Structure 1
Amino acid sequence: MKHFLLIAFCASTLTAVTPAVADAAQIKRACLASDRAAATRQRCRCIQSVADQVLTRRDQKTVAKWFTDPNQAQEIKMSKSARDDALWERYQAFGQVAQASCS
């Protein structure tokens, strides 16, 4: 019985962790895939580190899309919703910290 409970616990823990691991480093991957000359491995890793500190996983997923479609960022910036305004404020804070830390 103890072994069964341990296996069940481990299985549920792995299931809960797997999606988070799959979502990790979205900003870094988007940075490396961009056509920007300054997108070095070291800089993209630094930017991801800042993103992990400043942005939620959900924010990171959204912001990573902006690397390939900057128009989405403009739409968030111009939006009138409180939710989009809050995301834009977090994104600006992220940008300031990333610029200071990763330049």
Structure 2
Amino acid sequence: MTRILIASVTICAALAAPAFANPIERACLSSDRPSASRVLCACIGEAADRTLTRADMRLGARFFRDPEEAQRVQLSDTPRDEAIWQRWRNFGEMAEAMCR
């Protein structure tokens, strides 16, 4: 009985994991990119947790759906967008180093 309970909890935790994922990890998991595996997306999500605010993550998740939004932020000259883009670059560098 204990084994069944432990197995059930383990399975439920594994299935519920995306619900606890941050916006970047969820966007990665739902993308149509062939290399978007659970392991890679979890790693990218961890890099996001370390470098981005929740607001940055929500904005970055939109970048997955609408790359033109990323282009708009990158090309913008406002101090706010420049700061966001710097944090996004830092996130990209960390994700690249962590998730190879």
TM-score by length of structure 1 reads 0.76
Question: How big is the alpha-carbon RMSD for the aligned residues of Structure 1 and Structure 2?
Answer: 1.4
**Cα deviation per residue 1:25-81 (whole Å; 9 max; x = unaligned)?**
111110011111111000000100110010000000000011010000000000010
2:21–2:45 contact (8 Å) kept in structure 1? no
2:47–2:91 contact (8 Å) kept in structure 1? yes
2:23–2:57 contact (8 Å) kept in structure 1? yes
Partner in structure 2 of residue 84 of structure 1: 81
Partner in structure 1 of residue 67 of structure 2: 70
Amino acid at match of 1:98: A
Change (3 A) 1:90 1:39: same
Determine which structure has more spread, i.e. the larger CA radius of gyration: 1
Partner in structure 1 of residue 57 of structure 2: 60
Change (3 A) 1:39 1:87: same
Correspondence for 2:35 among 26, 35, 38:
38
Aligned residues: 82
TM-score by length of structure 2 reads 0.78
**Cα deviation per residue 1:2-29 (whole Å; 9 max; x = unaligned)?**
xxxxxxxxxxxxxxxxxxxx88511111
Q: 1:28 aligns to what SS in structure 2?
A: helix
1:23–1:57 contact (8 Å) kept in structure 2? no
Runs (5+) with no aligned partner, structure 2: 1-18
